[in-house]
Structure 1
Amino acid sequence: MDDFHLVIITGMSGAGKTQVCRHMEDLGYFCVDNLPPMFIPKFVELCAHSAGRVNKVVLVVDMRSREFFDALIHVVEQMDQENQPYDMVFMEASDATIIRRYKETRRRHPMAPSSRISDGIAKERERLAPIRNRATHIIDTTELKKSELKDKVLRLFGNCQGEQMNITVVSFGFKFGMPLDADMVFDVRFLPNPFYIDALRHKSGAVPSVAEYIAKWPVTQQFLEKLDDMVDFLVPQYIKEGKSQLVLAVGCTGGMHRSVYIAKHLFEFLKARGYGANIEHRDLMKNDVHEHPRQE
């Protein structure tokens, strides 16, 4: 249980618990929404016996009833007595903000289904006061933009947990269409094309003879120097911004020679810098290839 991390998210209805839960999922946490508090000890026990497969858990607890509230107080007190480590995130916002959000969604407040939203907010604040006092983190979303909330969650539970952005490098052919999920697209059709060399036409850009042909030109060397410098600058900025995934797409005409070579170079460059990177040659097998690399 030493590496098990439990986060309980609770707080005011309409304050952003669901949004925080989604951001935690992006950070690799296993999230359970609306778990009755009385089930928390058993759930934690099951996770402890998962052989490390479930070691980062988020539980979202709503105060739907008096029974839920009493059960959560009991569970938290029990975990404190047993020295069970956990983080509790308490979400709150101003009355005006919560009222506006409920009116926009046309939902009823769970604490006042048959009366005014303001009545439900007042009851919930009073009931949650003891829980708020036990919270390890309090997040007020009154003035927070969605991007700011994501950044706050990342600062609390992302970098401190050793998370890193996942980078995928994709080679593709423009004649087969651009990757829809690409964050950045590099068009390398300006590089010398091995397709016009009979001995290289049916070999991929990962084959040494093709790679040597593409690499020998000054324009290729200049481009790689500028590409490495740009990626070296941009990736830390994306990580700082809180981006969890980055797709870098490299395209040439058919996705067989130049894009494969540049994508492989970019992948190796990122790995050498210590980033978590994957490579995919999307359109390589759509061409007549006699020699091709194994997918990495």
Structure 2
Amino acid sequence: MTGEPDPITVPFGIPALEAATPAPKLSAAQVLIITGMSGAGRTRAAAVLEDLDWYVVDNLPAEMLVHLVGMMNRGAPGVGVKRLAAVVDARGREFFTDLAQVLTTLRASGIEYRILFLDASDEVLVRRFEAVRRPHPLQGKGRVLDGIAAERALLADLRERTDVLIDTSDLNVHDLAREVRAAVAGTTEDALRINIVSFGFKYGIPLDADHVVDVRFLANPYWVTELRHLTGQDAPVRDYVLGLPGARLFVERYVAALEPVLAGYLKEEKRYVTIAVGCTGGKHRSVAISNAIAGELRALGQQVTVAARDLGKE
């Protein structure tokens, strides 16, 4: 998908058939039906939801959707899922045959669900299929346009039931991701996940590091006899490291410098970041500073996990 972002999101009401059946307000499971035109971005939308910890199933038979949602609500063993996204497309024509009844059953059972429909102009869809040199799934021996017309007819009723429609004609992949996140806003926490890992430079820099922080400018507690056998997770070492000249100032200014970076990551759809904090052996200074940085970031409302990669090494 290319072009300048010009997102179009249009809400549609639930049809009369659905509205005629009162829906209880309480529902343990959240269900999202992802559908729309082939080439409009269903795969990308599904990937975005997976990154948001939704359980995504592709081309699931309609009757299986009812059973799966039922298992989720009953807390069946091995089904620790509360947010389900089902991708419905033209490959499963039999799905559409039963889908209307399935949606009515879900509504009558008090299951909250929404339909997200992805669309694009015929011209854009043709261009996308030509770019990947693949036939439309419904074109048969005809042209791509024939397949698009057949799919529009197949999806017409479902489109009328749509809660949110996203026209992806002028959206790139990042714009589409933002639109999908906006569509599930309020049901999914939109936050950056930050992992801080302490390490020892003598064991190598973590391969997945987005940022590398070198705290070897601080005095090494290893050379303090009563601290050598302890780690940065112990209060004496933590207090020693953070009490060194410049230590707390460094933490405060580093976190302040991170704020626009983290905001930029969110804007550019980067949802995971790893900050590697290193000292010589990964046992004292890096551990203490990692926890201090994590504390400052959590105070700003960030989601942070901390790991000490080399803590048990000699």
Range of TM-score over shorter length:
0.7 to 0.9
Matched, 1:30 2:55: yes
- What's the TM-score, normalizing by structure 1? 0.86
Equivalent residues in 2 for 1:124-203 (5 A)?
124-203=151-230
How far off is 1:127 after superposition?
A: 2.1
Question: Residues 85-107 of structure 1, C-alpha deviation per residue, up to 9 Å, x if partnerless?
Answer: 21101111122222222223332
Question: Residues 184-235 of structure 1, C-alpha deviation per residue, up to 9 Å, x if partnerless?
Answer: 2212122222233344334322333333332233221321221233345554
Equivalent residues in 2 for 1:205-284 (5 A)?
205-232=232-259, 234-235=261-262, 238-239=265-266, 242-284=269-311
How far off is 1:33 after superposition?
A: 0.4
For residue 200 of structure 1, give the secondary structure of its aligned residue in structure 2.
helix
How far off is 1:180 after superposition?
A: 1.9
Root mean square deviation, CA, Å: 2.5
CA contact (8 A) 2:281 2:310 kept: yes
Matched, 1:18 2:43: yes
CA contact (8 A) 2:119 2:168 kept: yes
For residue 89 of structure 2, give the secondary structure of its aligned residue in structure 1.
coil
For residue 72 of structure 1, give the secondary structure of its aligned residue in structure 2.
helix
Matched, 1:95 2:122: yes
Structure 1: any 5+ residue segments left out of the alignment?
Answer: 288-296
How far off is 1:241 after superposition?
A: 5.2
**Map of 2:101 onto structure 1:** 74
- What's the TM-score, normalizing by structure 2? 0.81
Structure 2: any 5+ residue segments left out of the alignment?
Answer: 1-25
Matched, 1:45 2:70: yes
Within 2, Cα distance between the matches of 1:80 and 1:195? 64
Within 1, Cα distance between the matches of 2:196 and 2:203? 17
Within 1, Cα distance between the matches of 2:99 and 2:251? 57
CA contact (8 A) 2:59 2:91 kept: no
CA contact (8 A) 1:25 1:31 kept: yes
CA contact (8 A) 1:154 1:242 kept: no
Say if 1:258 and 1:10 are closer, same or farther in 2 by CA, change over 3 A: same
Within 1, Cα distance between the matches of 2:231 and 2:37? 57
Q: Identity rate of aligned residues, in percent?
A: 39
CA contact (8 A) 1:174 1:255 kept: yes
Within 2, Cα distance between the matches of 1:72 and 1:64? 14
CA contact (8 A) 2:195 2:306 kept: yes
Q: How many residues align?
A: 287
For residue 98 of structure 1, give the secondary structure of its aligned residue in structure 2.
helix
Question: Residues 71-94 of structure 1, C-alpha deviation per residue, up to 9 Å, x if partnerless?
Answer: 223333444566642110111112
Say if 1:160 and 1:49 are closer, same or farther in 2 by CA, change over 3 A: closer
Say if 1:78 and 1:202 are closer, same or farther in 2 by CA, change over 3 A: closer
Within 2, Cα distance between the matches of 1:247 and 1:66? 43
CA contact (8 A) 2:40 2:119 kept: yes
Residue identity matched to 1:200: L
Within 1, Cα distance between the matches of 2:130 and 2:269? 31
How far off is 1:258 after superposition?
A: 1.3
CA contact (8 A) 1:183 1:246 kept: yes
More deviation in 130-139 or 106-115? 106-115
For residue 8 of structure 1, give the secondary structure of its aligned residue in structure 2.
strand
